[in-house]
Amino acid sequence: MLSDRFGRSIDYLRLSVTDRCDLRCSYCIPKGFSGFEEPSHWLTFGEIERLLAAFARLGTSHVRLTGGEPLLRRNLPQLAARLAVLPGLRDLSLSTNATLLARHALALKEAGVARINVSLDSLDRACMEKITGRDSLLPILDGLMAGKAAGFTPIKINMVAQRGVNEDEIDDMVAFCIRHQFILRLIEAMPMGATGRDAAYLDLGPVQARLQAKFGLHAAATELGGGPARYLSTADGGASIGFITPISQHFCASCNRVRLAVDGTLYLCLGQEEKFEFRPLLRGGASDAELEAAIRSAIELKPQKHEFREQPDKIVRFMAQTGG
């Protein structure tokens, strides 16, 4: 099992297959940004498969496909099928904005993707257009329903809660997710890049207390994923709401994940600069043993915690560059 110098087991890898996206969410990619990685710098499917096989041999059992928007990567179901059968990999999931999910849902499910997370910050069409930079709500909802029809379970809805932007829609989103048996995850905006720092941060502590009282929520009886969310459920267990609170109540002590960007850069923390470059090794003839040794060395670089509160201007890269 991979373990860092602070005794944390690292068994969760978020794999970015592209840094490009068809949306321009106000807290993520800056409007007008065009400095994306050259496709020649992207790891090939063969390079991804080889590197993830090494991670799996060392104990990485959870892999999430991310971006940017991962469904923009051509032939993604083929990559998913190759990763799903890697020895040691127990869980393959996908994070998506769902604008393209309707056309790919069935192929992804057949390829071995078990679960999906969908970014959906509002059920109001005008609000979604303001947040995402395009009229995106209807294709997202079509994708969601296609994912449900394809049999993905669970389906989690990621809602970045922002003060004065969509905070008044949280209760409607809770009701929507209960109705469709989706799991809602409320997320605090993080100060990553200028876009993240400009987001209207909302402390989820008071929101959690209010929802807990209104919907009779209790601590979830079972674990609902390998990520950082803390879950509450209704008394009958029929609905769950997760809270991801990197600012108001950080979860660094239990962090079990690292992020591999599309260019082969492994980022050890969202809020720190420590990283390790795997592309030169993969394209320079490194053996499997050398890859495994490099992974162990990289994990040793993982910092103890982020400094979003202490140094909110520290990270200039935005989320899509880091990998979901």
Query: How confident is the model at residue 77, as a pLDDT?
Result: 98
On average, the pLDDT of the chain sits at 90
DSSP secondary structure code for residue 201 in this structure: B
d(CA 5, CA 125): 46
Confidence tier at 307 by pLDDT (50, 70, 90):
low
Contact 259, 298 (CB under 8 A): no
Query: How confident is the model at residue 137, as a pLDDT?
Result: 98
Contact 298, 276 (CB under 8 A): yes
Query: How confident is the model at residue 67, as a pLDDT?
Result: 94
Query: How confident is the model at residue 318, as a pLDDT?
Result: 61
Residue 34, H or E segment: none
Contact 111, 81 (CB under 8 A): yes
d(CA 239, CA 233): 6
Q: How far is CA 127 from the centre of its chain?
A: 22
Residue 143, H or E segment: helix 137-150
d(CA 317, CA 270): 9
Nearest to 64 by CA among 26, 25, 90, 101: 90
Ranges 98-107, 211-220, 296-305: which has the least confidence? 211-220
Q: What is the pLDDT of residues 169-216, one digit of tens each?
A: 999 999 999 999 999 999 998 775 556 556 788 999 999 999 999 988
Helices vs. strands in the chain: H and E counts, helices first: 11, 12
d(CA 103, CA 199): 31
Q: What six digits make up the tokens of 201?
A: 């941060």
Pairing of strands 12-16, 62-66: parallel
Nearest to 59 by CA among 85, 86, 79: 86
Q: Does the predicted TM-score (pTM) go above 0.75?
A: yes
Check residues 236 and 41 and name the one with the higher pLDDT.
Answer: 41
d(CA 45, CA 76): 9
Q: What is the pLDDT of residues 149-175, one digit of tens each?
A: 999 999 999 999 999 999 999 999 999
Instruction: Report the pLDDT averaged over residues 62-83.
Output: 97
Measured CA to CA in angstroms, residue 60 lies from 16, 51, 258 at distances of 16, 11, 10
Q: What six digits make up the tokens of 219?
A: 């601590």
* Locus of tokens 């041999």: 57
Q: What six digits make up the tokens of 26?
A: 């106000």
State the amino acid at position 290 in one-letter form: E
Is 313 buried (19+), middle (13-18) or exposed (0-12) by CB count in 10 A?
Answer: exposed
Ranges 92-101, 134-143, 144-153, 315-324: which has the least confidence? 315-324
CA-CA-CA-CA dihedral for 126, 129, 132, 133, to nearest 10: -150
Confidence tier at 1 by pLDDT (50, 70, 90):
confident
d(CA 180, CA 204): 23
Q: What is the pLDDT of residues 221-273, one digit of tens each?
A: 555 666 778 899 988 887 899 999 878 777 788 899 999 999 999 999 887 88
Q: Which residues contact residue 113 at a Cβ distance below 8 angstroms, ignoring those fewer than 6 apart? A: 65, 80, 84, 92, 93, 94, 152
Query: How confident is the model at residue 309, as a pLDDT?
Result: 64
